[in-house]
Chains A and B, each alone.
Chain A
């Protein structure tokens, strides 16, 4: 296989499995090869794990002409990306991570495919460590819309819910292709005007959902009266393979910014006490309050995605205001600099006439950057 890289030494090398996902995604977007070594070198279970292999397989499905090399021990991975192809794809995600883990990757790639992406992902829809599918639908897609010139056909449908450990959930994600992305200037986050949400109970008693709703409302109604949480009791095929329940809350501001938070029940197999529905509801509500306090014009999960899309714009200045930066975003900013050479101007955002009394939650940070002049190189022009 001849190498499809003209410049010598066009390979970025990293150590460790941390932020592997970011590096692979940015490699695909930038067309640079990446070499990751010493993956879990000192771990009891060294090497790349199943869910990561699954991710690489997904990337292989989405792209055309990728070259992947994994060494025998699995501690070193070489990835030379091809063109992003897109099209209709079906993928069985690993049950170790939720579909959200894979969906975050696809959202970043989707606007730059050759063919509009229409992907069916199967696996776990909600778990504790990844943003759930609901979370992405509620607060990441609105951010994606802001960058797209034409968002007709952007859709995320949850067909089946699947909880850990057996999964069985199914999600359909469709996204139109873009020629280029818009620069954004989102400075005003607005104030939270309403809270919505979904409480779901899968293969357990439907009363669980109602109990969670009651508890969550108990916390939130102290702040705002407009709280409405629907219950979603899945039955039959829609309910996946494992029991569980959880609640997902979204706060919408006057400026159309969405903050999400979620809590789900413990896994019985994990030697933990079985969760009480009320506790789950209260935790979710409190997490939502923390998220609202952090504030910003994008949700903390959508921060990183917004940063990448700002980078992938034309050579124009983009600016967004975020709450505190998450570690994941900070890592993303560093990786963006490695791959795209784009440095963000990161500042505390102080409004002109700010008054400590009217301080809205945590101090805000402004992110300014100039796009890389990125266009969709994969699209076909007839």
Chain B
């Protein structure tokens, strides 16, 4: 295209300036313009079709912009961005992490194991985690990573793991993906480098999305990537925006970055394999986590949380707002790698106390805090006990041990305690009442006298008591009464306040009143004298009616008054101080009026309405929660995402600790209500198009669904049009089908993927191509199966009367027949019938048909047979395996694998084998025609008395004819005559043939001569002609 000078040699399009077409166009243009200019409004709407198209297009564009609005739950201080570094081995993952750590923290970190958290900016922290080239780690990290750096050796190209990883991501919620090409310096040729880059980029785009960011790390200098390139990469990481993924916005999860074994050493010494109590630490992500949540540790199993606590952030964001980070604030936290005070070894955990690290000023490690506290102690326990004080009410004085033991009188004088007594008296009375007459269940407030309520409501500390009353009491019911009882009973002064049910404990009769209460939601008013009560509270009741007193902001009179108030601006010397409140109210009202008017103006759309509602909800969430005290908030909400939490788990398998290996990610996912259960899971699935086999029913499959990875035996089926589930033996090739398996309950629409093998050894991997065999979503959860298989029962008639027949061979017993009474049956020729009743014990039954059937007919009963789904669910427990076997988790084998292993050859049933079909020729009976008919037949059709051989059968011998002498002479004569005649004829034919040949030859000769003559004549003529022309 380009010549040597770089100029474009292609001809440019030349716009015509003159000619017929140009004139025509000009004319048309001028006409339309003229009309439009004259009266533009008249031509706004020309064509209904166009208008419709225009409208349609507009709607399309609008709808495309719309997304289902979700409630915004992003925490104010989010957890660090979780960055997973993924790639095949020897591609430079560790080098990249080391480089990134070096860039942000200036701390050399040579041996990286497990996650590394670091502060990368004023508002941003990241956790870096290397992903091993093992499908288990890839699955776990894909579920939690916010951003994935996919490394690729450019000199080799994308490997299968890359595609597998992308597919895993797609199924479990796509995180942000940045591709990185390394080993670019291995390609020496510039052109080849350029082509490789281009090719890989386009391949990456088709996999992720067109325009996805692909980084090039051009080479390694002194074992490190170029600083500028790493810096750029860092910048890109820091500006990533997170997508909200539906699974992660409904579940809380964390990546464990620290682990402690707190089992008593004595127990471990006695039995190394004893169950352990452990502490797991990590940044909480997703949604708040409460103690009641069950959790799933990927690679270990489901666990109950023993306790959750939030800790100080070990790697906090800088508090001061300023332009750049100072060196002190560039924190790094990587306990598994030996940073953060704890070093893990094969058989010990070391705690570092000295401040060899930049962060140590804050003393975040708990163990350090404990030991430091012990070191600081200067007094004995007795002295401390004496000094300690307890505060009973929030604004009461602290009560020390001395006060209680010696100075009872002092308490009586104190003002605070007087009040306390007052309350105490009331409460105890009420409590006793409740305790004794729980069956009367008078609601609390009815019994509280008015005076008491008036007194208590404004005093803030009573507020807390309501929650305490409800929830602390709950402890008593469960059976922890004794704990409270023991330390209270001796002491009357303070104790009375808490003596809720202590009397009941002694008395079984009373106890059973509370535990076996009448179960009714109706507030029982049997013992209340309603008449007196109504008279007493008449005034209170009156205000509840529209006829009663209204509040100022609702009272029509007051509102009218407000409207009449002088305007703000007009009145110069308006007294702001007194009426500021009313003015504020008025202004608020005006604003509200405006808001409603404004909102109504635009709120014509369902979508907008939904959006505003959701926005309002997220605002309310934030507002109501931020108003709560921290402890109440944690109680109501649980631990928020972004907190650094400590989970205590009990009864963990010892192998988890013994075989702990920090380079495998420990992902903890919380399970929502009901998800800890197991049931039948119906999924919609499609075999992956890159997997080149089909899947067989009841062959084991490893499924990754929700947080879990497990092996199960799925049953494939097809959902028919009448919603029947028809059993399939194999998955279809290119269409989706359904599957059912016994597995953990997971919400509908959750994605899942299936693999056949998680082993990561070269022998296994060698003959495996793409490992993901199928993907799909959960469609239904159930506790029973309904997969059906077609079943044809076949029987034969043994006796037939008109339309009734007795049929045997279909069933084996009369019981079976009884189950099928009334069932439809059918002959092969299509005569329909019904099962009536069993006649004998062997399964013979009477049936009726719509027509008489033949004895040779086969009777068929078409039914469905329910297929059981095997109840097999086996979580993959690769984290508890020994270090060298972590990648070699082996589950149930497929039938084929077992057969190959044990060299079992299938012995097919002889019925199923194909054999040559031999057919005997049909022998028909001789045709006998009645004599009467014979007589009536025409001669042609009459049977002849002689035997006629139609097909010249030679076996039938002819009758020899014996002639007389005379006759013989005649016959000889005739024979001679015929022979001579034949001979003559032959001679004649030969002669004729010769003659004709001769004649033809002559004719030909003549023709040739004639031709030659004409030729010579022509020649002469032409010669003469040419001579004449020459002259």
Contacts and interface: CB of A to CB of B under 8 A. Distances in A.
Interface of A: 2, 4-10, 14-22, 29-31, 38-43, 64-65, 82-83, 101, 104, 114, 129-131, 183, 185, 191-193, 219, 223-225, 254, 282-283, 286-287, 289-290, 292-295, 300-301, 304, 314-317, 319, 323-328, 330, 333-334, 337-338, 340-348, 350-351, 353-363, 365, 368-370, 372-375, 377-382
A359 B441 CA distance: 25
Given A293-B540, A381-B780, A341 B624 contact: no
B916 interface: no
Given A183-B617, A290-B533, A16 B512 contact: yes
Contact of A353 (B293, B553, B782): B553
Nearest to B511: A42
Contacts of A372: 672-673
Contact of A315 (B73, B530, B550, B749): B73
21 contacts: A6-B677, A7-B294, A9-B304, A10-B304, A41-B512, A42-B508, A129-B518, A191-B546, A193-B546, A283-B530, A286-B531, A290-B528, A324-B444, A330-B470, A342-B290, A361-B540, A362-B540, A363-B445, A374-B672, A378-B781, A381-B780
Contacts of A290: 446, 525, 528, 530, 533-534
Nearest to A38: B515
A353 B441 contact: no
Contacts of B635: 343
B621 A317 contact: yes
A185 B625 CA distance: 14
Given A192-B544, A319-B624, A17 B782 contact: no
Contacts of A287: 525, 530
Given A16-B512, A18-B514, A301-B522, A341 B632 contact: no
A221 B457 CA distance: 32
Most buried by A among B444, B477, B747, B749: B477
Query: Main SS of the interface on chain B?
Result: mixed
A18 B543 contact: no
Main secondary structure of the interface of A (DSSP, over half): loop
A197 to B, nearest CB: 16
B280 to A, nearest CB: 17
Interface in B658-699: 672-674, 676-679
A83 B679 contact: yes
A33 to B, nearest CB: 9
Given A6-B678, A324-B444, A345-B467, A314 B71 contact: yes
B192 interface: no
Contact of A18 (B445, B519, B549): B519
A341 B782 CA distance: 25
B543 A358 contact: yes
B396 interface: no
Given A6-B744, A293-B541, A42 B288 contact: no
Given A304-B521, A337-B474, A289 B673 contact: no
Contacts of B778: 381
Contacts, number: 298
Given A131-B522, A353-B552, A368-B636, A348 B514 contact: no
A224 B445 contact: no
Interface of B: 71, 73, 250, 287-288, 290-294, 301-304, 438, 441, 443-446, 453-454, 457, 462-463, 466-467, 470-471, 473-474, 477-479, 508-509, 511-512, 514-525, 528, 530-531, 533-534, 537, 540-553, 617, 620-621, 624-625, 628, 632, 635-638, 651, 672-674, 676-679, 719, 744-745, 747-749, 778-784, 871, 873
B636 A343 contact: yes
B466 to A, nearest CB: 5
Nearest to B70: A314
A315 B287 contact: yes
Nearest to A311: B673
A269 to B, nearest CB: 18
B543 A361 contact: yes
From A10, A16, A130, residue with most partner B Cβ within 10 Å: A16
A379 B781 CA distance: 8
Given A4-B679, A374-B673, 17 more contacts: A7-B676, A9-B304, A10-B294, A18-B516, A20-B519, A65-B782, A191-B550, A192-B546, A224-B547, A225-B547, A286-B530, A292-B544, A301-B521, A337-B471, A345-B467, A353-B552, A361-B543
B515 A17 contact: yes
Given A343-B636, A358-B543, A326 B443 contact: yes
A27 to B, nearest CB: 11
Contact of B636 (A64, A334, A344, A379): A344
A323 to B, nearest CB: 7
A369 to B, nearest CB: 7
A372 B637 CA distance: 10
Contacts of A357: 549
Contact of B443 (A4, A5, A327): A327
Contacts of B462: 348
Contacts of A356: 454
Contact of B545 (A16, A191, A340): A191
B519 A21 contact: yes
Contacts of A295: 544
B541 A334 contact: no
Given A292-B544, A360-B544, A361-B544, A348 B553 contact: no
A304 B443 CA distance: 14
Contacts of A14: 478
A7 B620 contact: no
Contacts of B287: 315, 373
Given A83-B679, A191-B546, A375-B747, A315 B250 contact: yes
A319 B623 CA distance: 12
A293 B467 CA distance: 23
B639 to A, nearest CB: 12
Nearest to B515: A16
The 8 closest A-B pairs by CB, nearest first: A341-B292, A16-B515, A65-B783, A324-B445, A18-B517, A334-B474, A31-B674, A286-B530
B751 to A, nearest CB: 13
B541 A363 contact: no
Nearest to B438: A327
A325 B551 CA distance: 24
B512 A43 contact: yes
Among A14, A319, A343, A351: residue with most chain B CB under 10 A: A343
Contacts of B525: 287, 290
A163 B897 CA distance: 69
A102 B544 CA distance: 32
A275 to B, nearest CB: 14
Given A65-B783, A192-B544, A31 B677 contact: yes
B860 to A, nearest CB: 32
A341 B551 contact: no
Contact of A83 (B524, B530, B621, B782): B782
A113 to B, nearest CB: 13
B550 A358 contact: yes
Contact of B292 (A104, A185, A340): A340
A129 B744 contact: no
Contacts of B441: 326-328
A172 to B, nearest CB: 21
Nearest to A303: B521
Nearest to A219: B534
Contacts of A333: 470-471
Contact of B453 (A104, A283, A338, A363): A363
B516 A17 contact: yes
B785 to A, nearest CB: 11
A346 B519 CA distance: 23
Given A8-B304, A16-B514, A350-B457, A316 B617 contact: yes
A2 B871 contact: yes
A355 B551 contact: yes
B288 A315 contact: yes
Contacts of B73: 315
Contacts of A38: 515
